[in-house]
C-alpha cells in the first residue's frame, strides 16, 4: 500500500452537456477543473443495468449507487427484484401477502396501499401498485384504498395528474357493486410521510394524520386537490400539501385498527420511519391516537438488521464480499463521514444493506446532523463541517481508508433552483480543494467520484418546451485519481460504479474477490 486513500463522493454530480442547465459546468469550480486538466480520469455508468436496475432507461439513485460503489458487484435491485417477483408470482405466494389478503377476505377488513405514485423506478413503480390491486381483487379483497404520495422529483416536476389518471382508470375497472377501490388520501413526497434518517419526524406525523386518521383538507378527488393546490400555491408535485378525499363531507377511508396495509415503495431510506410507526408497539416519535395495530408489510425489508419492517413481500438481495469486509480482513482502519441526509449511504448502503459495522475495532463512522430547512435556502448544507472533519481525521493519520459524501449536488439539485445548485457546487468544490491540500500535506491518494447525476441536468426540453428538471440524470459520473507522486493509468474500457471498489483494492495491493468487477488501473 503506497499511501492511505481518501474517497470523495460528490453526490449527484455527473457529466452534463455543458449548457445553461448544467450547474456543474456553470458553477465556479476551479479545483474540479484542475483535476480534469491534470489527473487521470474516466466516466462511470451510474444508472440502469450498471447498478442492477431493469433497463438503461432507469435512472440511478444514491442507494443502488452506494451499493455498487461499496460492494464491487452488481445485484438485482429495487424495481427489478419486485418486477421479477410479481412476474413469477412469488410475491403473491408469499406467506405475508396471503395473510394480508386473507385478513381482508375473511374478516371484512380493508387493504390500504401507501407509496410514491410514479414510474420513476427509484422509490416505487406505479405498475407494481396496479398489479397488487388487481391481485387483491382476485384474492377476495372487497375494499382497497390508495394513499398516494406525489413525485415530481424522479419524474417530471408536474406530472402527477398523468399517474393519478392511470390509477383512477384501474380503480374504476376493479370497482363494482361488491368491490370498493378508491384513492383515500395523498400529498407531496417532501411534505408528508417520506422523511428519511429521522431528519423530520413532523413530516411523518403529517402523513400519519392524513392516511390513518383522515385529518386534513378535504377534496372530492385527487385531481381536484392537485389542481387546487397548484393554483393556490404554485407548487410542483413534490411540495403539494396533504389532502383527504371525502364524499358527502366524510372521508372515503381511514386506516382502521386490524386493517391490512402495504407500503409499496421498494427503496428503503424514505420507507423506514412510516414503517416504524405502523410496526412498533413502543413507538414514541409522535402520538398515534387510538392506534392498536394493523397487519403491515413493506414491499421489501428496508433494514434487515433492525427488522424494519417485520413483514415484507419480496426478499431483498443478500450482498456479501463488500469492500469493508475485504479491508477489515486485511486490518485496514476505515473512517466514514457525511451529514444525516447521506450518512446511511456511506455506512448502511455502502456495506451491502447492513446496519452496524463489520469490525468495531477497525471502523469509525461519523454523522453531522443535517439542518431541517429547505435545501435551496441553505445550499451549503454541511459541506464546511464535512470538510473540516475530513481534514481533521486525515491529519490524525489514524486511518488507511477514509470516505465522505457531499450531498449538495443531489439534495439541492432536487429543489430545481439553478441558482442554489450553482452555490451548492461551489461549496463542494471548496471542500474538495481543502481535502486535496490536506492530502498533499499529509500524504494521501485521493479518488473523486459520484453515485449518479443530478446537478448536471437542471433543465429538460420536450416538444420544444424547456422546463425545470428535479430528477436524477442518466449521465455518467467522474472517477478521478489525484496523486502527484504515483502515476496511475486508467485502462481503456467501459466502467460502472462497481469498478471503484476493485480499483481501490488494487491501489492498496490486495486481491479482489473473484465475484467483483475488474479494476480500472
339 and 476 co-located in one domain: yes
Q: Are residues 350 and 444 in the same domain?
A: yes
C-alpha cell at 186: 395523498
Cα gap 85→79, rounded to integer Å: 10
Contact between 336 and 324 under an 8 Å Cβ cutoff? The reply is: no
User: 128 and 71 share a domain?
Assistant: no
Number of domains observed in the structure of the chain: 2
SS3 288: coil
- Give bridge partners of residue 404 from the DSSP assignment: 8, 337
Identify how many contiguous H helices and E strands the chain contains and give both numbers.
Answer: 17, 19
Whether 111 and 136 have beta carbons less than 8 Å apart is answered as yes
- Cell numbers representing residue 32 in the block: 474540479
| pLDDT number for residue 197 | 78
> Are 244 and 350 contained in the same domain?
no
Instruction: State in Å, rounded, how far the first CA of the chain is from the last one.
Output: 15
Strands 111-117 and 260-263: parallel
> pLDDT tens, position by position, for the chain (521 residues)?
789 999 999 999 999 999 999 999 999 999 999 999 999 999 999 999 999 988 888 889 998 999 999 999 999 888 888 998 999 999 999 999 999 999 999 999 999 999 999 999 989 999 999 999 999 999 999 999 999 999 999 999 999 999 999 999 999 999 999 999 999 999 999 999 999 878 899 999 999 999 999 999 999 999 999 999 999 999 999 999 999 999 999 999 999 999 999 999 998 889 999 999 999 999 999 999 999 999 999 999 887 657 899 999 997 677 999 999 999 999 999 999 999 999 999 999 999 988 899 999 999 999 999 999 999 999 999 999 999 999 999 999 999 999 999 999 999 999 999 999 999 999 999 999 999 999 999 999 999 999 999 999 999 887 788 889 988 999 999 999 999 999 899 999 999 999 999 999 999 999 999 999 999 99
Do 255 and 309 fall within a single domain?
Answer: yes
Q: Which H helix or E strand runs over 135?
A: helix 126-138
Q: Sign of the CA dihedral 319, 365, 271, 428? A: negative
Interacting residues of 9 by C-beta distance below 8 A, sequence separation 6+: 66, 69, 345, 346, 403, 404, 405, 406, 449, 450, 451
Same domain, 308 and 386: no
Residue ending a domain, among 261, 296, 314, is 314
Query: What's the domain range around 453?
Result: 5-76+318-508
Distance CA 39, CA 351 (A): 29
In this structure, are 103 and 224 located in the same domain?
yes
| CATH, residue 168 | 3.40.1450.10
Q: What span, in angstroms and rounded, lies between the C-alpha atoms of 386 and 374?
A: 19
Residues 196 and 62 in one domain: no
- Any idea what the CATH number is for the domain that residue 490 is in? 3.40.720.10
Contacts of 464 (CB under 8 A, 6+ apart): none
Tell me the C-alpha distance between 437 and 61, whole Å. 30
Domain assignment present for 156: yes
Q: Are residues 362 and 301 in the same domain?
A: no
Residue at 514 is within a domain: no
Enumerate the active-site residues: 62
Three-class SS of residue 192? coil
Domain boundary among 314, 332, 363: 314
Cell of 451: 453515485
Last residue of a domain, one of 314, 346, 367: 314
Q: Are residues 328 and 182 in the same domain?
A: no
pLDDT score at 305: 55
pLDDT at 304: 66
* Same domain (yes/no): 55, 131: no
511 is written with which cell numbers?
486481491
d(CA 286, CA 100): 26
Amino acid at each position: 500500500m503506497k499511501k492511505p486513500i481518501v474517497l470523495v463522493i460528490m453526490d449527484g454530480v455527473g457529466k452534463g452537456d455543458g449548457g445553461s442547465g448544467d450547474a456543474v459546468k456553470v458553477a465556479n469550480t476551479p479545483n474540479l477543473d484542475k483535476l480534469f486538466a491534470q489527473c487521470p480520469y474516466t466516466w462511470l455508468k451510474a444508472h440502469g443495468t450498471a447498478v442492477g436496475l431493469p433497463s438503461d432507461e432507469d435512472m440511478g439513485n444514491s442507494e443502488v449507487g452506494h451499493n455498487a460503489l461499496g460492494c464491487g458487484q452488481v445485484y438485482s435491485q429495487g424495481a427489478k427484484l419486485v418486477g421479477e417477483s410479481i412476474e413469477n408470482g412469488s410475491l403473491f405466494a408469499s406467506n405475508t401477502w396471503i395473510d394480508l389478503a386473507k385478513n381482508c377476505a375473511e374478516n371484512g377488513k380493508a387493504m390500504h396501499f401507501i407509496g410514491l405514485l410514479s414510474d420513476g423506478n427509484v422509490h416505487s413503480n406505479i405498475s407494481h401498485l396496479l398489479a397488487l390491486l388487481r391481485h387483491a381483487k382476485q384474492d377476495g379483497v372487497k375494499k382497497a384504498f390508495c394513499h398516494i404520495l406525489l413525485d415530481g422529483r424522479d419524474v417530471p416536476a408536474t406530472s402527477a395528474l398523468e399517474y393519478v389518471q392511470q390509477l383512477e382508470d384501474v380503480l374504476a375497472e376493479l370497482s363494482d357493486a361488491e368491490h370498493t377501490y378508491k384513492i383515500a388520501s395523498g400529498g407531496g413526497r417532501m411534505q408528508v410521510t417520506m422523511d428519511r434518517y429521522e431528519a423530520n419526524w413532523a413530516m411523518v406525523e403529517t402523513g400519519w394524520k392524513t392516511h390513518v386518521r383522515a385529518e386534513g383538507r378535504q377534496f372530492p378527488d385527487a385531481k381536484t386537490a392537485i389542481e387546487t393546490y397548484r393554483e393556490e400555491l404554485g407548487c410542483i408535485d413534490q411540495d403539494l400539501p396533504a389532502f383527504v378525499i371525502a364524499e358527502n363531507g366524510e372521508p372515503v377511508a381511514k386506516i382502521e385498527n386490524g386493517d391490512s396495509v402495504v407500503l409499496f415503495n421498494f427503496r428503503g431510506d424514505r420507507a423506514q420511519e412510516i414503517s416504524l410507526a405502523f410496526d412498533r408497539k413502543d413507538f414514541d416519535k409522535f402520538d398515534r391516537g387510538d392506534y392498536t395495530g394493523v397487519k403491515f408489510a413493506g414491499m421489501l425489508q428496508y433494514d434487515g438488521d433492525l427488522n424494519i419492517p417485520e413483514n415484507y413481500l419480496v426478499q431483498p438481495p443478500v450482498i456479501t464480499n463488500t469492500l469493508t469486509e475485504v479491508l477489515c480482513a486485511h486490518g485496514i482502519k476505515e473512517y466514514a463521514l457525511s451529514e444525516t441526509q447521506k450518512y446511511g449511504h456511506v455506512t448502511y448502503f455502502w456495506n451491502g444493506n447492513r446496519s452496524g459495522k463489520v469490525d468495531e475495532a477497525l471502523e469509525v463512522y461519523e454523522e453531522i446532523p443535517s439542518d431541517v430547512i429547505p435545501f435551496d435556502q441553505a445550499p451549503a448544507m454541511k459541506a464546511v463541517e464535512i470538510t473540516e472533519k475530513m481534514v481533521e481525521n486525515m491529519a490524525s493519520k489514524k486511518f488507511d481508508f477514509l470516505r465522505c459524501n457531499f450531498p449538495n449536488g443531489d439534495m439541492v439539485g432536487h429543489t430545481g433552483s439553478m441558482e442554489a445548485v450553482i452555490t451548492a457546487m461551489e461549496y463542494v468544490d471548496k471542500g474538495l480543494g481543502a481535502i486535496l491540500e490536506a492530502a498533499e500535506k499529509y500524504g494521501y491518494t485521493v479518488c473523486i467520484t459520484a453515485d449518479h447525476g443530478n446537478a448536471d441536468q437542471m433543465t429538460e426540453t420536450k416538444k420544444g418546451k424547456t422546463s425545470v428538471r428535479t430528477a436524477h440524470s442518466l449521465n455518467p459520473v467522474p472517477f478521478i485519481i489525484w496523486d502527484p507522486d504515483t502515476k496511475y493509468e486508467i485502462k481503456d474500457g467501459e466502467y460502472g460504479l462497481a469498478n471503484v471498489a476493485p480499483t481501490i483494492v488494487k491501489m492498496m495491493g490486495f486481491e479482489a474477490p473473484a465475484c467483483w468487477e475488474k479494476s480500472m488501473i
